Chain A
Amino acid sequence: MTALLTVRDLRKHYGAIRAVDGVSFDVAPGEIVGVIGPNGSGKTTLFNSILGQIRPSDGRVEFQGDDITGMTPLDLARRGVGRTFQTLQVFHGLSVRDNLIAAGQELCGSMPRRLFAPPDAGLGEHADHLIERFRLTHVAHLPAGSLSYGQQKLVDIAMAFMPAPRLVMLDEPCAGVNPSLVDELRELLLAMNREQGGSFVVVEHNMDFIMRLCARVICMVEGRVLAEGAPAQVQANRDVLDAYLGH
């Protein structure tokens, strides 16, 4: 099967610091891949290099066979690549429903057409469906900025799924989420994967979450891929244990 995302020998250097140092991996259509690693191992830099937030020093990124290296986040969004950020990134002045519509509307038709489109850009029903899916119905009319951290996190994640992207890259989706909700968040992501059929790449520190969510896990240390494989394999890898526990 042709890979949806192909990363080859990707590098990002800041002077002598090699934040990402020759990372290569593939993501198949519909696959959920986890990226783990201790703090400062280069996971977020890898994400940002793939997603156009920063320009990689070297290497190549392909999406559906096209070279997307160094493309802007805008171009990537138009190609069907969605993402969430490590920190909360919602539109705090907009209601939850408007946040979701805003997340999807720009990929519907041309800019002049959107000026004459209905106020909800024809996405109201889809937004309501996701709001229900993420159990945000009771706060749908409230400004996102007035919600609790956990609720904003759900809005943040729901926004990434609004345009039904082919690839979603989630940067620490469990960060700040109540531990009792982590299992439900995992179930939700699995359901979104089944419903929308996209591929996910998930950076996460919560090992239990990632081991139960992902079919394949990549462990990064000091900007490089230390181990890659099925969750159980990676978890049992001696080098990975050393990297995490300093054995």
Chain B
Amino acid sequence: MNASSSTVIARPRRPAVPRSRTRLALAAIVVIAFALLPLGLKSYGTYLCSLFCVYLMATFGLNLTIGYAGQMSLGQAAFLGIGAYIAAIGMKAGLPFFAMLPLAALACFAIGLALGFPALRVQHHYLAFATLGFNVLVFLVLRNEEAITGGTFGIRGIPRPSLFGLSLERDLPYFWFTLASTLLLIALLGWLLRSPWGRAFAALRDNPIRAESLGVNITAYTLLAFAIGACCAGIAGAYFASLVGFIDPAPFNFTASLLMLLGVIVGGAGRFLGPVVGTVIIVLLPEWLRFMQNWYLAAFGVAVIALMVWLPGGLLSLPERLASRRIGALP
């Protein structure tokens, strides 16, 4: 029964977590270069690098929910906001950052678990609207519950933490702290996605009916996909609050969720390092395009449309795309 070999050039999506030594060495060089980058930057540049790390945590979580488990979510900014407000309120009350961080993570995990329930009944665009509704609801609560959240005036004077007696008040140490935390979170997600859970998430994404017939508890994995994704955004929110020192509801509206979704899709949903590329696009590209002055957002929009048209699999699908073209061009 020798079936003929495949002629389609494709790559298994699951083993997207880099394993080879070469890739690890390359990743280490990139990380070290990025860690040293703010030494040559002004304060705003360092702030952008920290913001990049914060969004990276959130988009890595969203990539698990969307790219690996195949669930749709337009509510990631709501979790970023919940995490940020929990941390901000607690720290303003004098509680330490390291007490508020797990609280923000746990709260978002629990709320994410609850948000996963609609996903058991609806999928695709229906689920997108359900999660979008959740984001709008959270935004309204943040804006209107002034006694708790400060409403549109927000919460000011959110302190930065100190680590083992070392103050992280200055931008550079806080950036390194955020970067190290982001790397730790990415490593944890990498380990999770390489475990049998990662395979179960992919089975849920590719074929839930078959997955269930093989004993995959699709209820549990669907809820977990939302909860873990939300938990990452909650952690990112706590870092965000300390980074900016002032929060109001504006950064947590649904357009921020759309932007994070864009980051996951543009990088390559379901590719482990997709969010890195995607977050560069959503956080740093608009800044690089500022030399175009009033046109910079228009240029950003055109760049994103072009990317989606030519690389619907995301920027990380570029090498495969080039390889398949090269093979197609052979006589």
Q: Which of B179-197 contact A (CB under 8 A)?
A: 192, 194-197
Contact check, B11 vs A117: say whether CB atoms are below 8 A apart.
Answer: no
Q: Which of B261-303 contact A (CB under 8 A)?
A: 270
Contact check, B6 vs A163: say whether CB atoms are below 8 A apart.
Answer: no
B146 at the interface (CB under 8 A from A): no
Contact check, A77 vs B215: say whether CB atoms are below 8 A apart.
Answer: yes
B217 at the interface (CB under 8 A from A): yes
A119 at the interface (CB under 8 A from B): yes
A67 at the interface (CB under 8 A from B): no
Query: B50-58, B114-122, B200-208, B243-251: which lies at the A interface?
Result: B200-208
B169 at the interface (CB under 8 A from A): no
A-B contact pairs, 13 of them (CB 8 A): A77-B215, A93-B14, A94-B203, A94-B206, A106-B217, A117-B195, A119-B195, A139-B6, A142-B6, A147-B8, A151-B6, A154-B1, A159-B210
Contact of A106 among B15, B209, B214, B270 (CB under 8 A): B214
A 149-170 to B, binary, CB cutoff 8 A, 1 in contact else 0: 0110010000100110000000
Contact check, A145 vs B196: say whether CB atoms are below 8 A apart.
Answer: no
List the A side residues contacting B209 at CB < 8 Å.
Answer: 53, 73, 85, 89
B13 at the interface (CB under 8 A from A): yes
> In the complex, which residue of chain A has the Cβ closest to the Cβ of B11?
A143
A116 at the interface (CB under 8 A from B): yes
Cα of A114 to Cα of B6 in the assembled complex, Å: 32
Given contacts A73-B213, A143-B13, A94 and B196 within 8 Å (CB-CB): no
Chain B nearest CB, measured from A227 CB (Å): 29
Contact check, B199 vs A102: say whether CB atoms are below 8 A apart.
Answer: yes
Cα of A90 to Cα of B13 in the assembled complex, Å: 14
Contact check, B214 vs A163: say whether CB atoms are below 8 A apart.
Answer: yes
Chain A nearest CB, measured from B217 CB (Å): 6
Given contacts A74-B212, A105-B196, A93 and B217 within 8 Å (CB-CB): no
Chain B nearest CB, measured from A199 CB (Å): 17
Cα of A73 to Cα of B196 in the assembled complex, Å: 20
A209 at the interface (CB under 8 A from B): no
Cα of A225 to Cα of B51 in the assembled complex, Å: 68
Contact check, A93 vs B2: say whether CB atoms are below 8 A apart.
Answer: no
Contact check, B197 vs A77: say whether CB atoms are below 8 A apart.
Answer: no
A236 at the interface (CB under 8 A from B): no
Cα of A89 to Cα of B211 in the assembled complex, Å: 9
- Given A53-B209, A115-B197, 16 other A-B contacts at CB below 8 A? A72-B212, A73-B212, A74-B217, A78-B215, A89-B209, A90-B206, A90-B210, A91-B202, A92-B207, A105-B200, A135-B1, A139-B3, A143-B10, A148-B4, A154-B1, A163-B214
B165 at the interface (CB under 8 A from A): no
List the A side residues contacting B1 at CB < 8 Å.
Answer: 134-135, 154, 181, 184-185, 188
Contact check, A77 vs B199: say whether CB atoms are below 8 A apart.
Answer: no
Given contacts A142-B12, A143-B10, A154-B3, A94 and B213 within 8 Å (CB-CB): no
Contact check, A102 vs B203: say whether CB atoms are below 8 A apart.
Answer: yes
Instruction: Determine the interface band of chain A, counting residues with CB < 8 A from chain B.
Output: 35 or more
List the B side residues contacting A136 at CB < 8 Å.
Answer: 3
Residues of chain B having any CB pair with chain A under 8 Å = 1-6, 8-15, 192, 194-197, 199-200, 202-203, 205-207, 209-218, 220, 270
Chain B nearest CB, measured from A52 CB (Å): 9
Cα of A21 to Cα of B214 in the assembled complex, Å: 28
Given contacts A91-B203, A93-B14, A146 and B212 within 8 Å (CB-CB): no
A121 at the interface (CB under 8 A from B): yes
List the B side residues contacting A146 at CB < 8 Å.
Answer: 6, 8-10
Contact check, B202 vs A102: say whether CB atoms are below 8 A apart.
Answer: yes
Contact of A114 among B14, B195, B206, B210 (CB under 8 A): B195
Cα of A142 to Cα of B320 in the assembled complex, Å: 14
Cα of A83 to Cα of B209 in the assembled complex, Å: 11
Contact check, A51 vs B3: say whether CB atoms are below 8 A apart.
Answer: no
Contact check, B196 vs A151: say whether CB atoms are below 8 A apart.
Answer: no
Chain B nearest CB, measured from A177 CB (Å): 9
List the B side residues contacting A116 at CB < 8 Å.
Answer: 195
A141 at the interface (CB under 8 A from B): yes
A207 at the interface (CB under 8 A from B): no
Cα of A78 to Cα of B215 in the assembled complex, Å: 6
Chain B nearest CB, measured from A59 CB (Å): 21
A219 at the interface (CB under 8 A from B): no
A138 at the interface (CB under 8 A from B): yes
List the B side residues contacting A134 at CB < 8 Å.
Answer: 1
> In the complex, which residue of chain B has the Cβ closest to the Cβ of A74?
B212
Chain B nearest CB, measured from A152 CB (Å): 9
List the B side residues contacting A89 at CB < 8 Å.
Answer: 207, 209-210, 213
Given contacts A85-B210, A181-B1, A98 and B199 within 8 Å (CB-CB): yes
List the B side residues contacting A95 at CB < 8 Å.
Answer: 12, 14-15
Chain B nearest CB, measured from A7 CB (Å): 18
Cα of A78 to Cα of B205 in the assembled complex, Å: 21
Given contacts A135-B1, A146-B8, A151-B6, A94 and B199 within 8 Å (CB-CB): yes
List the B side residues contacting A121 at CB < 8 Å.
Answer: 196, 199
Chain B nearest CB, measured from A143 CB (Å): 5
Chain B nearest CB, measured from A99 CB (Å): 8
